[in-house]
Structure 1
Amino acid sequence: MATVAPSRIRTGRAAEVWLFLLALALGLGGYALVGLNTGEALPENFGSYALTLVVIAVVLHLVVRWRARYADPLLLPLVLALNGIGLAMIHRIDIGLASRGLAAGFGPRQLIWTMLGAALAVGVIVALRDHRILRRFTFTAMVAGIVLLVLPMVPGLGSRINGAQLWIQVGSYSLQPAELAKILLAIFFAGYLVTNRDVLTLAGPKVLGLQLPRLRDLGPLVVAWAACIGVLVVERDLGTSLLFFGLFVAMVYVATERASWIIIGLLMFAAGALLAIALFPHVADRFDIWLNALDPEIYNREFGGSGQVVRGLFGLALGGLMGTGWGEGFPHLVSYANSDFIIAALGEELGLTGLIAILMVYLVLAQRGIRMAIGVRDGFGKLLASGLAFTIAFQCFVVVGGVTRLIPLTGLTMPFMAAGGSSLVANWIVIGLLVRISDSSRRPAGEGRGEVVSEDTAVVALSALSEASDGGPRRGRKRTGAEDARSDAPGPAEDRTASAREGAGTANDQGAGSDDGDDPGAQHTEVVERP
């Protein structure tokens, strides 16, 4: 009798090697061209710089092959490419700043932050065996996230830079706790919404053809709105408040699939922003710069003028379609060109073509995050992956929109590219979490411990068991938050569900009361094995 050999599952690790080589070529090539075009020689530290990036790539690949071999092979090479291009541009701006007699040396510090961020991503991949464990810490994550947001307001600890109260001073380093808070709040939002989504999906009044939620269910949205407006007012930062509120609204939409939540969220944030403009001068200044950047009076302000925005726009115009080339432009003439305005610097030297290519890399990175959210089998993982992918995509939109005057300038920085240790380290941790979730979503059936494929199938299996034991059919009922929590939780809950399914399948084939769980007629397709 002929037998069919099972097809071999491709993990994508071989493709990842080639993608890492391409990422290294982009980063190291840009770094070398900066030296050749500005000093007609390779940078003095090119050897150690190249060795550092190669070691990071090798370690990341080996760790993923060891602990997450089914993870998406695109994630880490894409991030390393962005990080490498950012390091090359920061080095180029350092050269320009030094030529003007200004403080430089941001490149070596950014390389140190890159090593730290990659090490923490490796730690997440190795230590976090199952992303669903994070659901146990839903409210712990909430408390920790709020504490991190409040830290800059503590007297003697927080420091104000460029008018924003977002940093804490630790020795000679300034850290931005809000970057880590966004990860913790994403974990909290995912845990909260996966438990309470049934309530949030209940229909309320219908206005202008739009099905609104019930008024009593608007509480979480109102609290999130108030917290974000508080950040906007107290810490004087529009970008952070916009990012957190956008994250919550996006995750509510993913959990409920109701467009009304997005519309309500946009209206609430617009109302809060208008109120802040009327009451607080520093918020009004941001909008004034956005709308009247070319006004001579606003441009020539000693502090808080539009000179930075206008010079960035002129840099983009100078770059044209193909750019001036690595090291051939004047990006260092723009304030904070290595952080807030690194997009303007890249657009000047790489042109519109290079800038679009970079934005496409971000687009692919966000798309892979959404794809793994669709593929992962538990609700918590779906929401967490969606939220983390959204933070990367939304942050890119806010930064590019601010530089190009599509929206007001916010002060956020491009993930993985801009100078700044807090942002870089936090985003590497985000990638570590996405690698872990993607390993779960792409892992085939038949490996490791039993896991429920979907929440709904778990409920069907339990109701089938009840039907078999009662000797007759039972009407389906709506799943509860407790059942939803049990279906997502790893460990004993999965064993109970698997046992229920075995009993249900056996009862359907042999009759109620049979304990023969090994009957070949029983259906076990809803349970897969996972290490």
Structure 2
Amino acid sequence: MSQSGVIMEFVHRRRRGAELFLLVLALAVGVGAYAAVGLGVDEEVPADIIGYGGWLAALVVVAHVVVRFVAPYADPVLLPVVAALNGLGLAVIRRLDLAEDTTFARQQLTWMTVGVALFVLTLLLLRDHRVLQRFTYTSGLAALILLLLPLVPGIGTDINGAQIWIHAGPFSFQPGEIAKLLLVVTFAGYLVLHRDALALAGRRVLFVDLPRGRDLGPILLMWLVSLGVLVFETDLGSSLLFFGLFLIMLYVSTERAGWLIVGTVLFLAGAMAAYRVESHVQVRVDTWLHPFDYYSDASGGKSFQLVESMFGMGWGGLLGRGLGLGMPDRIPRAESDFIMGAIGEELGLTGMIAVILLYGLIVERAFRASLICRDGFGKLVAVGLGGVVALQVFVVIGGVTRLIPLTGLTTPFLSYGGSSLVANWVLVALLLRISDHARRPAPMLVTDDEADMETTQVVKMA
């Protein structure tokens, strides 16, 4: 502060106009892709383009208006990026519907409506993200209950070899998608309280301070929970996601590289044990290493999905065949597990890179919100939410491109699936709430200089 009592402070602009402009571009991507699908398949613009485009625009405008009034300082990039990804996903699912005579795109648009409704409710009801810290252990208990629900007889359902679904009347739901958000809140609240103890250094090995033995309890517990998800629910993707999420947040909280070493050792030990014990994991690894050996009918076609996706991406090349001009329907369940394979075939490597860059923007904006957030809990929640997106995208695209074994996770905002889409819209609402709090001007300060009260002036900088 200068002698005149003026405080120089950077104040973020609201940037809602920029958000609206970017949303128009996002709508152009979604509606344009939908029109391109109709032109590619039927050589004419879809007859329902006005109704579809109007409903998509209405959802996006409602989300924008709510953000404008209840979170005016929120990040202006997040919502347009999510809208573009969701619109592109709807168009690709519609393209697969036309080839397979299904109605997944209509159902996905319904789930998007539910997701936007919960997005709005989250922003309206949660005016301060710090309130969530009060529910640290309640969130953990709720997450544990949700993870156990698929194992309850009569409720849980085995779909495609994974016991991760529950049935409620005519609807099926994947509770692990909600559990990941609750676990972010639990991990953040716990690490804020115990950061100092977990950051203490133990024995030093090769220039790295390993954690103390007495502090290994939390990471061992999370390791066992992840193994339990893998063994009892046969869900490799969620197991990797939960353990990786905790490890990322633990490292960011303590800034100790020793935790990464301990986590890596535990991960490798768990992976080796799972490979030897779980036949499901063995199949995933074997088809990853030797996909063409398991492609034929003689082997049951265990790698048929992966190999067809590789053929399609190879056929798509750099620029792709064009929306509606490829044959992505040859890939089984392309609308969910392998939607990136369909995008690679019809939009090429260029389209895949564009999608990855959009995901990179979401993660970057989450980390930026974490950097400027004023409270430790908000910092960790933002890091955790960004980490959830980063981990999901890495393991999904890594599996489709054969960088790592397949895990069974869905691609956020692109893949067909109500559970994932709804949970990810709530995730974005939480990120916007944190960024709004972080970007708001600090409360005006008043200084007392030798009994003369001077009103503090805040100099706004663009």
Instruction: Give the aligned partner of residue 314 of structure 1.
Output: 311
Q: Measure the CA separation in 2 of the matches of 1:231 and 1:198.
A: 30
The structural deviation recorded for 1:300 is 3.1
Amino acid in the other structure paired with 2:99: G
Q: Measure the CA separation in 2 of the matches of 1:369 and 1:338.
A: 27
Q: Measure the CA separation in 2 of the matches of 1:202 and 1:135.
A: 23
The structural deviation recorded for 1:304 is 6.5
Q: Measure the CA separation in 2 of the matches of 1:332 and 1:309.
A: 13
Equivalences, count: 454
Give the SS at the match of 2:302: coil
The structural deviation recorded for 1:208 is 2.2
Q: Measure the CA separation in 2 of the matches of 1:301 and 1:93.
A: 28
Amino acid in the other structure paired with 1:135: Q
Amino acid in the other structure paired with 1:300: D
Choose which of 35, 39, 44 in structure 1 pairs with 2:42: 39
Q: How does 1:89-488 map to 2 (within 5 A)?
A: 89-98=92-101, 104-295=102-293, 297=294, 299-300=296-297, 303=300, 305-446=302-443
Q: Measure the CA separation in 2 of the matches of 1:403 and 1:300.
A: 21
The answer to whether structure 1 residue 74 and structure 2 residue 72 are counterparts is: no
The answer to whether structure 1 residue 20 and structure 2 residue 23 are counterparts is: yes
Q: Is the 8 A contact 1:117 1:425 kept in 2?
A: yes
Q: Measure the CA separation in 2 of the matches of 1:208 and 1:301.
A: 50
Instruction: Give the aligned partner of residue 453 of structure 1.
Output: none
Superposed CA deviations along residues 344-399 of structure 1, whole A, max 9, x for unmatched, are 00010001111101110110111000000000000000000000011001100100
Q: Is the 8 A contact 2:250 2:259 kept in 1?
A: yes
Q: Is the 8 A contact 2:321 2:347 kept in 1?
A: yes
Superposed CA deviations along residues 167-213 of structure 1, whole A, max 9, x for unmatched, are 00122222100000000000000000000000000010012221100
Q: Is the 8 A contact 2:12 2:440 kept in 1?
A: no
The structural deviation recorded for 1:50 is 0.7
The structural deviation recorded for 1:45 is 2.2
Instruction: Give the aligned partner of residue 477 of structure 1.
Output: none
5+ long unaligned stretches in structure 1: 99-103, 451-501, 511-515, 526-531
Instruction: Give the aligned partner of residue 3 of structure 2.
Output: none
Q: Measure the CA separation in 1 of the matches of 2:420 and 2:207.
A: 42
Q: How does 1:507-526 map to 2 (within 5 A)?
A: 519-520=453-454
Q: Is the 8 A contact 1:293 1:299 kept in 2?
A: no
TM-score by length of 2: 0.94
Instruction: Give the aligned partner of residue 83 of structure 1.
Output: 86
TM-score by length of 1: 0.82
Q: Is the 8 A contact 1:292 1:298 kept in 2?
A: no
The structural deviation recorded for 1:215 is 0.3
Higher Cα Rg, which structure: 1
Give the SS at the match of 1:71: coil
Q: Measure the CA separation in 1 of the matches of 2:53 and 2:16.
A: 22
Amino acid in the other structure paired with 1:70: Y
Instruction: Give the aligned partner of residue 65 of structure 2.
Output: 62
Q: Measure the CA separation in 2 of the matches of 1:299 and 1:40.
A: 35
Amino acid in the other structure paired with 2:157: S
Q: Measure the CA separation in 1 of the matches of 2:312 and 2:257.
A: 39
Q: Measure the CA separation in 2 of the matches of 1:108 and 1:44.
A: 14
Counterparts in 2 of 1:250 and 1:299: CA distance versus 1, 3 Å:
farther
